[in-house]
Structure 1
Amino acid sequence: MLINLILFIINLGYSDIGTSALPLLKIGPGPRATAMGDGFVGLCDDVTALYWNPAGLAQLNKFETFLSHQEWFYGFRDEYISLGLPVGKSSFGFGAVYSRTDGVEHWTINNNPGDTFATQTGFIALGYGYELTRSFLFGITLKGLYDDLRVEKGTGLGGDLGLLFRLGERFNIGLVGKNLGLGVKYGETNYPLPMQFKLGLCLRPSHFNIVSDFTLPLDNIPHLNLGIEWNIKNILALRAGYRTGPQDLTSLGFANGLSFGVGLFLGKVCVDYAFVPYGDLGNTHKFGLRTAIPLPGSGLFKIKVIDARTKRPITACVLFSGIRQETRQSNLKGEAYLEKLNSGWLKLGVTKDGYFPYNDSVFIQGIGEQNLTVELIKLGYGTIWGMVYDSLTKKPIGGIVTYTGQSSGNFNVDTLTGTYTLRDLPIGLYELEVKGPSLNYIPQRCSVYLTYDEVVTKDFYLLRRKELPKFPSIYFKTGSSEISDEAKFALDKAGKILLENPQVMVELSGHCDKKESGIDLWRLSQKRAEAVKKYLNEKFGISFERMQVQGYADTQPFAPSETETGRSLNRRVDFRILKE
């Protein structure tokens, strides 16, 4: 029965060729779709969906505008304008089309030539699209029609009904009934609208849109539209298409079914152009300008799921909650996304059999595009094994290995063999820290990625901390700041230490015995420090900048002053390291 109905409609179209009014309604607006052979019903992902398939309006996630000018042959010109505004899962569209033809000859009733005049045709369109589910969208467009033929003026109402089925991320099916209505009335006579029924398919491999429309008009023969678009890095789009109708290619030439075009992306603006030949009638040119402006509530969030080790994409289940409750499946490229998001926190959980689950929260700005790459870690267990050595002697030493990652803990390194073994660790990334058997060793840290059933060997060579140089004290006779022979021996040792450690800066601290009566102890302690400084400079070339002097009088005794031995230990100059 369905086949009989289709054959009936086709036969009806054959018998009624050229009997409908307002041929402007048959012309597809926009250079983008025109360049793709007028095959746009299954794609319709911009504001021109208002004319092609109003269900496509529900795909808008930005405020879009569209302006277009079409230059036909013999003085025909068409102008298009449309606006698209997304609001949640709904989108609203407004458009207007104006066509004018100048230089139309007027003949009198007596078949005598008169003056020339211009005809004007146009319509206003209001559209609405709604995303009922992720896979099913529908829309409607209402049109107010006007036609001024000078001798007659016609008005009417019409509309389009459209459906769009999104089967995954890469394939769409569109259905639309166009120009549905009672017709256009000229005076007392009513003429039917050029009704059409279209089936559109769209395949969307990476960077390409491949489209095909089958058109079944009620006033003409069925025809097929094919097209392709190649988007090059969102900078340039190359387009081509072929139409088997509604023009008669047997008379125009089959090459005149071709169409070509380009699109140039300039930020939020796209400039489009299309070229369509019509044989001896001439060539036509279409120019268009599209803008897409993000609005609050138009946020786009994209997630890509990959294997943490191989970096290859994974098909995983992504559960969203927070500002949007939804479950998505990442595609073969590991991608999933949410559109038309308001600002707020979005929680996500990513699960895949054989992998550790992943949970995170992202603050959505509610405008523009945000991206997140999730690295899933495969389930399994492995082992980290190794030895700890003294870096200087290359001999095994003990210590402690601390690990953090999918699990955490400590392991005591065997003191005799220097070995450690971390068994049955869940696979993933681990941070290791190794400390030696004493504080004289500098700890070491490293990262180790552990894979399924793998034994990773990681050895450590610990450095000993560099010991600070030890300077001798320089002793003086009672009441004197002269360097004795015994003091010179100690100073020579100190000078060599300073030469071997050129980065070291010291304070020379002068001290006195409180029994050194009748003497200015502050001045004497300062002179003792100055004497040491001068000796080291003159004999070893130690720069004055590396040596600061300070006298402390008898305020910092080293030993009690009750005995001569104690007093002799207090008459001294000490070295205090300021910088190493």
Structure 2
Amino acid sequence: MKKKIILFVLIISGFSALSYAEGVNKIGTAAATFLRIPVGARAAGFGSAFVSMAGDPSALYWNPSVIATLDKNSLIIDHSPWLPGINFDFAGIVLPLGNFGTLGLSATILQTDEMDVTTPAAPMGTGETFTASSFAVGVTYSRYLTDRFSIGGTFKYIQETIYNSSATGIAFDIGTIYETPFAGIRLAAVISNFGTKMRMFGEDLNVRVDIAPDQEGNNQSIVGKLNTDEFDLPLIMRIGLSGEVFDTEDFRLTLAADGVNPNDNAQSVNLGAEAAFLNEKLQIRAGYRDLFLDNNEFGLSFGISVANINLWDSVLITTDYAYQAMKHLGNTNRFSVIIKF
């Protein structure tokens, strides 16, 4: 156990050194940033240190290679009132195909409440309302290349909509996980959201233009279109390490650390710990997200699971809850249900 803890300290020290390697970042320069919202209450309670954690269908988001570790059909439904007036939902299913690998399907939706349309002439509202939404659908495939090493990938279609305008794009995730011979320590690496740029198009960008305001007799109501900029997707590279410090039939303690390198922010580190009791039936966890990041919005997170409850025959259900402290935007609650059948 002492060697494992020393290894974790060395890895975290290395991640912290990386977090100061760059003095320049591009905060707020990516489109479709809802793709950075963590999926799964277990992962959220873990401080988002989750790319090397096995056995959970939320891996459809975190690391597509991990779904190869699932030996049963698994369904996950995740819901969070993310910020005031905004709801976040994720659903995914994992289908093991035996010697042919593992297939996964997923959908992510971010939806706002209705908002009033305002204009310079009607700052209190025109009487109309609008919403903004983002969604992504993904297809994932993973398989073992050896008994300890698996690789996986996800293809995603992405769309963001504001009122009558929208932007679309496609992206790919690719990940690997390796279970080392050293007492079950797992190493993982993932690149997420590698894809096209996104640009807004739609009726809301149409404007009336008088192309010759100093001349009479011309058409004063020509329809023009505002030309919007293109923005990159939130490309993220994550490197993760996790392992069991204690692992008996009655008690398990798991530690995890992720190094995170996004294209629209500075580098940071996520840390998490999880304790399991009663033969994995009860799990509690805590974590810290975006360690070493300047102006970090996130604080400590906590979570609890009632896991692997047998409903009937071979159907198992797990319910997860997580609490994420935030400094300015209000604390969030996460709820997930996982069904294995």
Q: Output the TM-score relative to the length of structure 2.
A: 0.77
SS at structure 2 position matched to 1:170? coil
| Pairing 1:523-538 to 2, within 5 Å after superposition | none
Q: Is residue 178 from structure 1 mapped to residue 178 from structure 2 by the alignment?
A: no
Cα distance in 1, alignment partners of residues 305 and 292 from structure 2 = 25
Match of 1:21, SS state, is: coil
Alpha-carbon offset, residue 235 of structure 1: 1.3
The corresponding residue for 1:58 is 68
Q: Secondary structure at the match of 2:29?
A: coil
> Counterpart of 1:235?
281
The CA deviation at 1:99 is 1.1
Residue 19, structure 1, aligned to residue 33, structure 2: no
Identity among equivalent positions (%) equals 29
Confirm or deny: 8 A CA contact 1:68 1:81 kept in the other structure: yes
Q: What amino acid is aligned across from residue 196 of structure 2 in structure 1?
A: L
Question: Are the counterparts in 1 of residues 137 and 158 from structure 2 also a CA contact under 8 Å?
Answer: yes
1:150 aligns with 2:198: no
User: Partners in 1 of 2:164 and 2:129 — Cα distance?
Assistant: 12
The alpha-carbon distance between structure 1 residues 102 and 156, as it changes in their structure 2 partners (threshold 3 A), is same
Residue 363 (structure 1) aligns with: none
- The SS at the match of 2:152 is strand
Residue number in structure 1 paired with 2:266: 221
- Per the TM alignment, residue 184 of structure 1 is displaced from its structure 2 partner at its CA by 1.9
Aligned length: 282
2:179 equivalent in structure 1: 166
Cα distance between partner residues in 2 of 1:76 and 1:289: 20
Q: Report the CA distance between 1:68 and its aligned residue.
A: 1.1
Are 1:264 and 2:274 matched, yes or no? no
Deviation at 1:203, TM superposition (A): 1.3
Shift of 1:47: 1.1
| One-letter amino acid matched to 2:306 | L
Q: Is the 8 A contact 1:145 1:184 kept in 2?
A: no
Determine the structure 2 residue equivalent to 1:191: 231
- Amino acid of the structure 2 residue aligned with 1:219: D
Q: Which residue of 1 aligns with 2:222?
A: none
Aligned residue runs from structure 1 range 25-44, under 5 A: 25-44=35-54
User: Do 1:44 and 1:53's aligned partners in 2 also have CA atoms closer than 8 Å?
Assistant: no
- For the pair 1:208 / 2:256, whether they are aligned, the reply is no
**CA-to-aligned-CA distance 1:354-404 (integer Å, 9 cap, x gap):** xxxxxxxxxxxxxxxxxxxxxxxxxxxxxxxxxxxxxxxxxxxxxxxxxxx
Name the amino acid aligned to 1:29. V
Amino acid at match of 1:257: G
CA RMSD in angstroms, aligned pairs only? 2.2
1:120 aligned to which of 111, 133, 137: 133
Residues 7, 215 of structure 1: alpha-carbon distance in 2 compared, 3 angstrom cutoff: closer
Q: Which of 113, 137, 162 in structure 2 is aligned with 1:102? A: 113
| Deviation larger for 174-183 or 116-125 | 116-125
Letter in 1 for 2:340: A
By how many angstroms is 1:185 displaced? 2.9
SS at match of 2:61: helix
Contact 1:249–1:257 at 8 Å: present in 2 too?
Answer: no
1:122/1:147 contact within 8 Å kept: yes
Q: Deviations over 1:23-73 (max 9, x none)?
A: 110111100001000011111421111100101011110100001111123
| Secondary structure of 1:204 counterpart | strand
User: What's 1:281 paired with?
Assistant: 329
CA shift in 2, pair 1:149/1:9, >3 Å? farther
- What amino acid is the match of 1:240? A
Q: Which runs of 5+ in 1 are unaligned?
A: 1-5, 294-580
Q: What letter is aligned with 1:141?
A: T
Question: How far 1:150 moved relative to its partner?
Answer: 1.1
State the structure with bigger RCO (CA 8 A, min sep 6), 1 or 2: 2
Please list the CA deviations of residues 256-306 of structure 1 after superposition, one character each: whole Å capped at 9, or x if unmatched.
52000000022210000000011242110110100112xxxxxxxxxxxxx
Letter of the aligned partner of 2:285 in structure 1? R
**For 2:276 and 2:192, how far apart are their aligned partners in 1?**
29
Secondary structure, counterpart of 1:25 in structure 2: helix
8 Å CA contact 1:9–1:218 kept in 2: the answer is: no
Cα distance change on mapping 1:16 and 1:38 into 2, 3 Å: same
**Distance (whole Å) between structure 2 residues aligned to residue 29 and residue 15 of structure 1:** 25
- The aligned counterpart of 2:218 is none
Deviations 1:308-336 (A, max 9, x none): xxxxxxxxxxxxxxxxxxxxxxxxxxxxx
Cα distance in 1 for partners of 2:121, 2:293 equals 34
User: What SS does structure 2 have at the residue aligned with 1:41?
Assistant: coil
Q: Is the 8 A contact 2:55 2:70 kept in 1?
A: yes
Whole-Å separation in 2 of the counterparts to 1:8 and 1:50: 30
Asked whether the 8 Å contact 1:222–1:245 carries over to 2, the reply is no
Correspondence 1:136 to 2:152: no
Residues 398-429 of structure 1 show CA distances to partners (whole Å, capped at 9, x for unaligned) of xxxxxxxxxxxxxxxxxxxxxxxxxxxxxxxx
Contact 1:44 1:52 (8 Å CA) reproduced: no
Compared with structure 1, are the counterparts of its residues 9 and 248 closer, same or farther at alpha carbon in structure 2 (3 Å cutoff)?
closer
Aligned counterparts of 1:50 and 1:196: Cα–Cα separation in 2:
15
Distance across 1 between alignment mates of 2:331 and 2:293: 14
Matches within 5 A, 1:294-309: none
* 1:67-125 deviation per Cα after TM superposition (whole angstroms, max 9, x unaligned): 11111231110111100011124111000011111143433255834344221111101
AA partner of residue 262 (structure 2): P
Of 71, 74, 91, the match for 2:84: 74
Q: TM-score, normalised by structure 1?
A: 0.46
Larger Rg: 1
